[in-house]
Amino acid sequence: MSLFLGPMRQHIPGKKELTEKSELLHLMPKKEVYIPLVAGRTLDFDILVQEGDTVSVGTKLAETKSGFYVPIYSSVSGTYKGIVKRMHNSLRPQNHMVIECDFKQTKVQSFAPLDWQSATREECVDFVKNAGIVGLGGAGFPTYVKYMKPDGVDYVLINAVECEPYITADYRSVMDDAQDLVTGAKIMKKMAEAKTVYICIKESHPDLIEKVKSALTDAAGVEVYPVPDVYPMGWERVLVREVLHKEYGGLPAEAGAIIGNASSAIAIAKAFEKGEAITQKNLTVSGECVKDPHNVCVPVGMPVSEIIQACGGYTQDTVRLISGGPMMGKTIVNDMFVVDRAMNALTVLPAANDDAIACLRCGKCSDHCPSGLQPVRITAALKANDVDEMSKRGVMSCIECGMCTYICPSHIDVTENVRKAKRIVMLKKK
């Protein structure tokens, strides 16, 4: 069944009115930030400061020892107190660098700006690498890696779709920094040696479309591309199908495209023009169980508990706190974790009720799966502990978008079943 003719995608209630028009609320921690020493799967870092050192906003604190290069910069000014292990939103305890705030927010230029128009493509890519630009809408993958060998890439798609319910952080960022978005798009076009950059925005956001179009001065080859307001339109494979009408196997580059997040494009512009590293994060705090939903701007490493308090606290004693949105986010058992660079939302919902009934064998989960999988078959293989069948059914192609759980009339958490199956298959491969 074609993704664009059948029910494999669906409009779902956005609940975005809770925060969409709110002004950005700037917050500071009460005492300390805890900056995660995590870069994707890399946990091994060289620490560049000593305990007791005074640091400023933008001071380089650490850099990866192996794998892809990722530097980490201080998000506050104050005193470096050392390393502690605490819970991370990956659901694992990780090392965090502790900075005690002096509340002056003294800034230093993290690196010298670069005139991207006169620089070579290679110089621009190297600059993005050393600036520590990472994807700000997903796994935090280092941006420079996508541009190292852009052979055959004709298009860059900038994802400003934000298809998850409740989340409006990118909407707010683009409304406030449309010119930076366009500048970032131009730089990405140069690094990819692409013919066209499409800034993809939901057609249900005419105000955002107009805002970006008004910033497209002297921006040859950069266009706004309105896309349908359906889920999961923000997934890169769906975006490539919608915009370019192409399929690919492993990476979007096979379809001649590089995908980037809108907030990442804004960060690229600020790095080149101002020498600013990623030290602050815009995120949405929303849901029925937080008293004052808001878009907030916080230092990386700020405790989530303090952010929730600044938004009025919880509306009830027992809630479901999600790092991310309700479809693809992770439920965290408490709020004793911190904001990292890739986090885009904190969603607070009523605690889940275990009201599931037996599977009706209706096939809706299969009809709506954007990856073309059969979650009902994968779940059956999981119950039978048939690892070969799980693998045969393509479980590793699941993107954990949550659509199968959302659409299930039996209220079964199908997505969690498929996650479990993925973990079992991965363990067997090891």
| Tokens read off for 311 | 């938004």
- E strand residue ranges, 247-402: 257-261, 280-286, 294-299, 319-323, 330-332, 345-350
d(CA 87, CA 84): 10
d(CA 87, CA 357): 33
| Tokens read off for 73 | 């910069």
Sheet arrangement for strand 345-350: 25-26, 294-299, 280-286, 345-350, 319-323, 330-332
Known binding residue 297? Answer is no
Known binding residue 362? Answer is yes
Going by their DSSP bridges, the two strands 78-87 and 319-323 should be labelled as unpaired
Known binding residue 369? Answer is yes
Radius of gyration of the chain (CA): 21
67 — alpha (psi -120 to 50), left (phi > 0) or beta?
A: left
Amino acid at 335: D
Q: Is the peptide bond before 232 cis (omega within 30 degrees of 0)?
A: yes
Amino acid at 66: S
SS3 333: coil
Cα distances from 385 to residues 381, 421, 429, in angstroms, run 6, 9, 15
Give the dihedral sign, CA 351/353/354/358.
negative
3-state helix, strand, coil in the chain (%, to 5): 30, 25, 45
d(CA 288, CA 331): 15
| Tokens read off for 169 | 């952080």
Known binding residue 163? Answer is no
DSSP 206: H
- Burial track 333-356 (b if 16+ CB lie within 10 A, e otherwise): eebebbbbbbbbbbbbbeeeeeee
Known binding residue 311? Answer is no
H helices of 177-251, where?
178-192, 206-214, 236-244
Known binding residue 289? Answer is no
Known binding residue 398? Answer is yes
Going by their DSSP bridges, the two strands 25-26 and 32-36 should be labelled as unpaired
Binding residues: 359, 362, 365, 369, 398, 401, 404, 408
Binding residues for [4Fe-4S] cluster: 359, 362, 365, 369, 398, 401, 404, 408
